[in-house]
Amino acid sequence: MYDVIIIGAGAAGMMAAGTAAQNGKKVLVIEKMEKAGRKIRITGKGRCNLTNARPPEEFAEQVRTNADFFATAFAEFNNRATIRFFERRGLKLDFERGDRVFPHSGKAWDVANTLEEWCRDNGVEFWFHTRVTGLMTLGGKIFGVRYMNRRGFERKEEAAWVIVATGGVSYPATGSTGDGYTFASEAGHDIEPLRPSLTPLVSPHPQLRELHKLLLRNIRATLFIDGEAIREEFGEIGFSERGIEGAVALRMSRDAVDALIDGRRVKLSLDLKPALTVEILQERIRREIAEMPEEEFFAELLRKLLPKPLVMPVCKELDIQSKTYVKKIGNKEIDRLISLLKGFVLPISDYAPFEYAVVTAGGVRCDEVNRYTMESLKVKGLYFAGEVLDLDANTGGYNLQIAFSTGRLAGQLKQ
C-alpha cells in the first residue's frame, strides 16, 4: 500500500514525509506518541527557535560533530530555504538577537502544525499510538517494518523505502527513547556512544543553591579542562535546580560532558564585569566607598555592583561578613573582590541527564551513511534523518536545521 514508511513524526520525519509525497510517493508516517511533533512543541521554551538566519557560510562553524557530512544536506536545503518554506505556508517569522528565528505567534505548536498540515495536504498518512518494533530486511535490502498496533498485536507493513527519523534520547517524555539506535544496530550499523549535549552543568559550589532562578546577562565565561582554557563564550548564564544553564553554559556543555566522561577536571570561570578592566573596577569601587557613609555595610557596596541574589554568595566566598562596615574595607579586600568579579570560579562535577538535554550527541555513524542521499551504506532502501545521526550543533536553531536539512534530503529518496 505504501512506497515509503517513515518512523517518527518529528521535524526530520515530517520534512522527509512531505518531500517524498510531493515527489509522488505514497507515504506512511508511524509515530508511537499521540500527535506529531511532540518535541517541536516544547522546544525553545515553547516558542521554537526553528533555525538561525546567520549567513550559510558561517553555519558550519556551529555544527559540533561531522560538519563536513552535514554540508551536503545543508547545501540542498539550507537555513534560507527553511525560512522560505515556512513563510510560503503562511507562518510569519520573527528574527531575534543572535539571528535566531521564531514563529511570530511565539507558539511552537504553530511550527509543528504547519509541518503536519503540509504533509497531509500532500497525501501523507499518519498512524499515531503505533510503535515500530523492528525493520524487515532481506538480502541487504529493506522491505518494511514490524509494528505493534493499539491492541498490542504485532503486525507487518511492507514498503520499498524506510526512513528512520526517531530522534535521540533527549527529552524522552516526547517519545525520543532511542528506538532508532536499536533499529540501526540490528541493521548492522555502529552507534557512536550517546551522551547529553546542550545540557545543564552541575557544580558542587556551596553557594550555588542561593542562585536558583538567577539569570546573568552579558557574562563572559571560560571553560577550563585540566587547568587549560579551551572555550570562551559571551552571553547569558542561568541557575536552576537542574544546574548551570543559559545559552553560554549549554554551548560549553558539549566539551564539558566529554571531559567529565574522560575523568578530567572541569571548571567554569565567570567574568561578572567583562566590560570593565581591573583598573576601572578599582576606581569605581573606591569611588563608591568614598561616597558611602562610614557606617554603611559591605553588602550595600555589593548591591551597587551585583544583582541582589549574588550579594550573600560573594560575601561568603570572600569570607567577609555582609554587615562589615565599608570603612574597614581596605586595598587587600578590594583586590580580592575584583579578582572574584573577574573570575567567579564554579567547579563542574557532573551534568544533567538526558531528560534535560536539548539534543543527543552520538548516534548512527555518519561514515556508514551516504552523505549525498542519507541512505544506509549497509542496507539498501534504508535512510536516516535528524538526531538519530551522529550530528549535533550549538544552541540557537542549528539542531532543528540539521533535522530539516537531513529530512529533506532523505525524503528525496535518491539512489
Of 305, 330, 352, which residue constitutes the final position of a domain?
Answer: 352
Gap between the Cα atoms of 196 and 204, Å rounded: 19
What are the tens digits of pLDDT across the range 102-149? 999 999 999 999 999 999 999 999 999 999 999 999 999 999 999 998
Q: Could you give phi then psi for residue 345, rounded to 5 degrees?
A: -90, 130
Asked if pLDDT for residue 56 goes beyond 90, the answer is no
Residues 93 and 161 in one domain: yes
Give how many domains the chain has, as a whole number: 2
Same domain (yes/no): 225, 253: yes
- DSSP string covering 148-195, please? E-TTS-EEEEE-SEEEE----SSSGGGT-SSHHHHHHHHTT--EEEEE
Q: Which residues contact 166 (CB under 8 A, 6 or more apart)?
A: 7, 8, 10, 13, 176, 178, 179, 180, 183, 388
Give the pairing of strands 359-364 and 191-197.
antiparallel
Q: What is the layout of strands, in order, in the sheet containing 161-164?
A: 125-127, 27-30, 4-7, 161-164, 382-384
pLDDT tens profile 64-110: 999 999 999 999 999 999 999 999 999 999 999 999 999 999 999 99
176/231 same-domain check: no
Specify whether 287 is located in the same domain as 363.
no
Mean of the per-residue pLDDT values for the chain? 96
Residues whose CB is less than 8 angstroms from the CB of residue 72 and which lie 6 or more positions away in sequence, other chains included: 371, 372, 409
Domain interval for residue 33: 4-196+358-411
SS3 358: coil
pTM, two decimal places: 0.92
162/89 same-domain check: yes
C-alpha cell at 372: 549525498
Whether the pLDDT of residue 209 is over 90: the answer is no
Distance from first CA to last CA of the chain, Å, rounded? 21
